[in-house]
């Protein structure tokens, strides 16, 4: 194995409550119908416009743009109130992976600016060889472009890589790119959903990734 491609939200960083609160703040500010936490969490892993379109299918493109900009305004405030943290064992495991000469990257539907800020603040940016956000691709998850672009940029074949994520879209993205996949159950999707998505491996704690390696 030469490369591990990580999702961020729900895989490396525990951002769920921040995302849920920001969705609720934006929805309330725009006077849209409320959505429960499970419904909101089901959009995690999608680009913001796709997430709002899933929550409110009748919105026009202009309304989706307004929702997205409103969300981002609230997110800038909320990330200072609900500071995201790494999940238990993430930093130590990433250090162990790096010591074995295996490169790591992040492919997320979050913006690259936000990703780089979080990785820097969480103290793991120095271990990540490549960061790819929604603004770096034409087609976001579950399209395979984020993985294919990462492989191309780092010169790694699909056979030598592993995608690790917490949502079915992560697993589908990896599968469509011809890369093996590992799902984590502590994020935002159920074990049943991850099994149905066809994950090659499923782990309950991040350090268990070392057993796969």
Among all residues, which ones are annotated catalytic?
7, 9
Sheet strand arrangement including 161-165? 130-132, 103-107, 3-6, 161-165, 180-184, 201-203
Of the candidates 94, 118, 145, 124, the residue with the CA atom closest to the CA atom of residue 9:
118
Of the candidates 96, 101, 209, the residue with the CA atom closest to the CA atom of residue 162:
209
For 44, list phi and psi in degrees, rounded to 5.
-65, 130
The DSSP letter of residue 199 is -
Distances in Å between the Cα of 106 and the Cα atoms of 3, 81, 145, 192 are 11, 25, 13, 25
């Amino acid at each position: 194995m030469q490369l591990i491609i990580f999702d961020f939200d729900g895989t490396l960083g525990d951002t769920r409550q921040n995302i849920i609160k920001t969705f609720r703040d934006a929805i309330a500010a725009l006077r849209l119908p409320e959505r429960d936490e499970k419904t909101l969490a089901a959009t995690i892993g999608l680009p913001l416009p796709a997430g709002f379109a899933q929550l409110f299918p009748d919105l026009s493109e202009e309304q989706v743009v307004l929702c997205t900009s409103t969300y981002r305004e609230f997110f800038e405030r909320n990330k200072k109130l609900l500071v995201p943290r790494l999940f238990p064992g993430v930093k130590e495991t990433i250090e162990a992976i790096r010591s074995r000469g295996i490169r790591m990257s992040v492919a997320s539907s979050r913006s690259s600016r936000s990703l780089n800020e979080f990785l820097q603040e969480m103290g793991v940016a120095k271990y990540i060889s490549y960061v790819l956000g929604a603004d770096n691709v034409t087609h976001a998850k579950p399209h395979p472009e984020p993985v294919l672009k990462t492989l191309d940029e780092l010169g790694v074949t699909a056979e030598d890589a592993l995608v690790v994520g917490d949502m079915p879209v992560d697993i589908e993205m990896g599968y469509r790119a011809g890369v093996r996949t590992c799902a984590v159950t502590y994020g935002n999707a159920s074990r049943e959903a991850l099994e149905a998505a066809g994950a090659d491996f499923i782990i309950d704690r991040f350090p268990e990734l070392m057993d796969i390696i």
